[in-house]
Amino acid sequence: MSGARPTRYLFQILLVLALAIASPLAARADITVNVNQGVSQPLPVAIPAFSGKDPNTAKIGADIMTVITGNLQRSGLFKPLDPNSFIERNLDVNVQPTFANWKVLGAQALVNGQATVDADGRLVVDFRLWDVNTGQQLLGEQFTSTPDNWRRVAHKISDAVYTRLTGESGYFDTRIVFVAESGPRTHRVKRLAIMDQDGANPSFLTDGSYLVMTPRFSANTQEITYMALRDTGASIYLFNIESGRQETIGKFPGMVFAPRFSPDGGKVAFSVEKGGNSDVYVMDLRSRQTTRLTTDPAIDTSPSFSPDGRQLVFNSDRSGSPQLYIMNVDGTGVRRISFGEGRYTTPVWSPRGDFIAFTKQNGSDFHIGVMRPDGSDERILTSSYLDEGPTWAPNGRVLMFFRETQGGAAHLWTVDLTGRILQPAPYTGDASDPAWSPLLN
Amino acid sequence: MTVERQRTGFAPALIGALTLHVAVLLAGILAWPFMGKPISPANVTAVTIVAAAPSIPPPAEKAPRPAPPTSPEPAPTPTAPPPPAPAPPVPPRPKPLPPKPAPPQPTPTPAPAPKPLPPKPTPPKPTAQAQPAKPTKPSQDLDLGALSASLDKSTSRKGPGAKGPPKLELSQIERLDQGASSAADKTATVDAAAAVGARLNHLWNKRCEVEGFRQLDDIRVQFQLTPEGGLQGAPQVVSAHKSDPVWQAAAEAAVRAVYQAQPFTELPRQTYSQWRTFTANYQAKEACK
């Protein structure tokens, strides 16, 4: 009897257990839901001013926050929240934030940081990126620099945040070289200029005593090539930004224009016009050997390398109006890729390789557009009185170009691959012919 | 006698062992709903990034990266070769057309100067479940008929912002049917799927222009709800994890959508047993077509 009781209890317990296990399983059928639409919205992100232990570092911290905020907002993928709404304003970077204070604001991510100056006078900036919902730290990094270089630190942090939250590389620690324009239309002064991608630190590279056109960055970000137009004729120059040294790539019979570096910086492709015929040439910068790639009697110009350096896209009017063509880097395999109505010019191959941007004139409208290298999936991104000269951000998602209003001056604008995020670039001066640098080292 | 003693000695041992097993099983059952809960933030401790403040318990952290290089400002030294030149090659002549109005340029707002606040020596709080910003609910009827109709149109796509019930494949419906014991249960399950799917579709932030996003395999996120429609535990990505940063960002966005979507107050409490656990299957390829 004493042996039967435990057995009975055991059976009862097991039965209860079986029921307890079975019933929730039965009720808890896993419902699968397909999420196959989605939306494309800017992600709400809170960026409080980076803290500082003294007025100097506190100012740097606030300035860094401003630059990061501007970068992320202009990307169109983030919505920095109004700092005035913040419940907490002076976060200690070494203390985990109180996420409830950020959730209630609708923030999905939080960037906080701290600026200090160490004993050697170096600026040390710590920052952390948090997922507000999960409380997980997504990034925690430290940057060191000279205090006057805080802007680049802010751009680096912007890139890190952008990359972590989107999965693609950023484009904030970059520069733009462009043609700064001034003076009356009859005596326009066009100077080579350079600035940070956010419009900060603009400076002139030439003195305006001659006209400059179509500046282009090399892959090493320290060298640009451009066309200079003097009374003696047109020349293509290589300009080292660090040293200020510049040299011409040589004399050519006729007019040379539209230079562009190969992805490895070892070659420059350009056009030479002679007797009404323009053709595409490539020069090896080490040997200075020049190869003619096109021989068609039509106007062939605006060559741009594919990211792998094996092909070139250019425009040619050999079919009657300017259209886009692709050829191998040795000039073989020429094929037309644009077949839409209108005139296609200034093609630029995306650094990602997936699109070719162009200027399109159709009727009275000018557009910036993109298409696949095989000519498919053409998208018109902008439309105005005059939009021209696209250049890619290094991540291949954003384009800068210049827009001119009727009777007005040219200004720099940006647009993303969807065409939805269209806005003036943060440089308000008259400017044209922008060229976006690769990410700085 | 010896045998009896052995028996009486065996019975308590058996009871003890069984009790222990039962206790373990009970503990397992009780812990079952919480097993998916993530180990919140305490990932690692800081290394050099918080070296200046060793006394404060640092939150989770990755190893810091070294400092960025500082490149000198390019010298704006103009080099002045010969004098200006004649006419430049011309840009195309535009024809008059009203320029397209530009969207307002974003202007960053500077934060107020940080005020000194007493440091918080308290241990960091993990994910406090505060009231999340509740998204607007899509107004829609979640009847089976409409849902079935949408199934028939499973190949026709809606715009990104389109409202309406999510697409459920027939196999899914059949699976749901098998799990439900009555017509009412089936309705409850399908309605719940439609409601949750609609909400997630309006909150999942897809990044179709990010290179590689369109090629992502489906990302499956499992989560459980309370009878009130709130999250029970943290959503879990149940797809095989990948080191690809695009996948990682997409998976986090998928989880983020679940957090934003809850609480699912439209789910009727009385049918809770039919809609407790969900797996959201985020389909980047389909969403970016």
Query: Nearest CA of chain A to the CA of B42: how many Å?
Result: 8
Asked if residue A4 is part of any domain, the answer here is: no
Q: What is the CA radius of gyration of chain B?
A: 30
Asked if residue A29 is part of any domain, the answer here is: no
Helix axes B144-152, B183-203, angle to 10 degrees: 60
Instruction: Give the up-direction half-sphere exposure of residue B165: CA atoms within 13 A in the CB hemisphere.
Output: 24
Between residues 166 and 185 of chain B, which touch chain A (CB distance below 8 Å)?
166-169, 172, 175-176, 179-180
Together in a domain, A195 and A319: yes
The two structure tokens encoding residue A160: 């890190």
Residue A99 near residue A46 (C-beta atoms within 8 A): no
Together in a domain, A381 and A303: yes
**CA–CA dist A437, A201 (Å, integer):** 15
**CA–CA dist A139, A130 (Å, integer):** 7
Which strands form A335-336's sheet, in the order they lie side by side?
A300-305, A311-316, A323-328, A335-336
State the Cα angle at A67 between A383 and B118, rounded to 5°: 145
Of the candidates B50, B111, B114, B71, the residue with the CA atom closest to the CA atom of residue A148: B71
Indicate the residue of B68, B120, B202 with minimum beta-carbon distance to A152: B68
Instruction: Give the up-direction half-sphere exposure of residue A182: CA atoms within 13 A in the CB hemisphere.
Output: 11
Amino acid making up residue B220 = R
Q: Quote the pLDDT of residue B13.
A: 57
Between chains, do B84 and A209 touch, taking CB under 8 Å as contact? yes
Together in a domain, A291 and A230: yes
Give the total number of structural domains in chain A.
Answer: 2
**CA–CA dist B174, B53 (Å, integer):** 58
Asked if residue A14 is part of any domain, the answer here is: no
| CB-based contact, A85 to chain B, within 8 Å | no
**CA–CA dist A328, A305 (Å, integer):** 10
Q: Which residue of A has its CA nearest to B17?
A: A10
For domain B144-287, which architecture applies? 2-Layer Sandwich (3.30)
Asked if residue A8 is part of any domain, the answer here is: no
Together in a domain, A345 and A410: yes
Tokens 């397909």 belong to which residue?
A34
| CB-based contact, A276 to chain B, within 8 Å | no
Q: Alpha helices, DSSP H only, in A83-171? A: 100-103, 150-166
- To the question of pTM greater than 0.90 for the whole model, the response is no
ipTM: 0.85
Q: What ranges do the domains of chain B cover?
A: 144-287
Residue A248 near residue A227 (C-beta atoms within 8 A): no
Q: Quote the pLDDT of residue B284.
A: 96
Together in a domain, A294 and A362: yes
Q: Quote the pLDDT of residue B100.
A: 35
Asked if residue A252 is part of any domain, the answer here is: yes
Q: Quote the pLDDT of residue A251.
A: 84
Together in a domain, A373 and A265: yes
Q: Which of A117, A145, A166 is the last residue of a domain?
A: A166
Indicate the residue of B208, B274, B281 with minimum beta-carbon distance to A35: B281
Together in a domain, A83 and A179: no
Between chains, do B96 and A385 touch, taking CB under 8 Å as contact? yes
Between residues 210 and 239 of chain B, which touch chain A (CB distance below 8 Å)?
210-213, 222, 224, 234
**CA–CA dist A268, A225 (Å, integer):** 8
Assign A412 to helix, strand or coil. strand
Q: Which residue of B has its CA nearest to A7?
A: B15
Indicate the residue of B59, B96, B211 with minimum beta-carbon distance to A352: B211
Asked if residue A394 is part of any domain, the answer here is: yes
Q: Which residue of B has its CA nearest to A141?
A: B64
Assign A84 to helix, strand or coil. helix
* Structural domain boundaries, residue A268: 175-436
Query: Nearest CA of chain B to the CA of A313: how many Å?
Result: 20
Query: Nearest CA of chain B to the CA of A380: how many Å?
Result: 13
What CATH code is carried by the domain that includes residue A154? 3.40.50.10070
Q: Quote the pLDDT of residue B274.
A: 86
Chain center to CA of A190: 25
pLDDT in tens, B227-254: 999 999 999 999 999 999 999 999 999 9
| CB-based contact, A21 to chain B, within 8 Å | yes
Between residues 25 and 84 of chain B, which touch chain A (CB distance below 8 Å)?
25-26, 29, 32, 38, 40-41, 43, 46, 48-50, 52-53, 56, 58-62, 64-84
Contact residues, chain A, for B283 at CB < 8 Å: 34-36
| CB-based contact, A121 to chain B, within 8 Å | no
Substitution target in B14, B105, B171 with the highest count of A β-carbons within 10 Å is B105
Segments of chain B scoring below 50 in pLDDT: 1-10, 28, 31-178, 180
Residue A2 near residue B15 (C-beta atoms within 8 A): no
Between chains, do A39 and B50 touch, taking CB under 8 Å as contact? no
| Residue A12 φ then ψ, to 5° | -65, -40
**CA–CA dist A215, A239 (Å, integer):** 10
Tell me the average confidence (pLDDT) per consecutive run of 10 residues in chain A, 441 residues long: 51 49 52 94 97 95 98 97 93 93 96 96 97 95 95 97 97 97 89 96 93 92 91 91 90 90 95 92 95 95 97 96 97 96 96 97 95 96 97 97 93 96 95 96 83
Assign A292 to helix, strand or coil. strand
Chain center to CA of A272: 30
Q: Quote the pLDDT of residue A253.
A: 83
Query: Nearest CA of chain B to the CA of A305: how many Å?
Result: 20
Contact residues, chain A, for B29 at CB < 8 Å: 17, 20-21
Q: Count interface pairs A-B at CB distance under 8 A.
A: 443
State the Cα angle at A375 between A373 and A378, rounded to 5°: 105
**CA–CA dist A260, B145 (Å, integer):** 60
Indicate the residue of A49, A404, A422 with minimum beta-carbon distance to B114: A49
Contact residues, chain A, for B69 at CB < 8 Å: 440-441
Asked if residue A294 is part of any domain, the answer here is: yes
Cis peptide before B160 (omega within 30 of 0): no
DSSP chain B: -HHHHHHHHHHHHHHHHHHHHHHHHHHHHHHGGGTT----S-----SSTTTT-TTS---S-PPPPPPPP-PPPPP------S-B-SPPPPPPPPPP-PPPPPPPPP-PPPPPPPPP-----SPPP------PPPPPPPP----HHHHHHHHHTTTS---TT--SPPP--HHHHHHHHHH-SSHHHHHHHHHHHHHHHHHHHHH-B--TTSTTTTTPPPEEEEEEE-TTS-EEEEEEE-SPP---HHHHHHHHHHHHHHHHH---TTS-GGGGGGSSEEEEEE-HHHHT-
State the Cα angle at A392 between A386 and A397, rounded to 5°: 105
| CB-based contact, B255 to chain A, within 8 Å | yes
**CA–CA dist B165, B190 (Å, integer):** 10
Q: Alpha helices, DSSP H only, in A206-355? A: none
What CATH code is carried by the domain that includes residue A328? 2.120.10.30
Asked if residue A5 is part of any domain, the answer here is: no
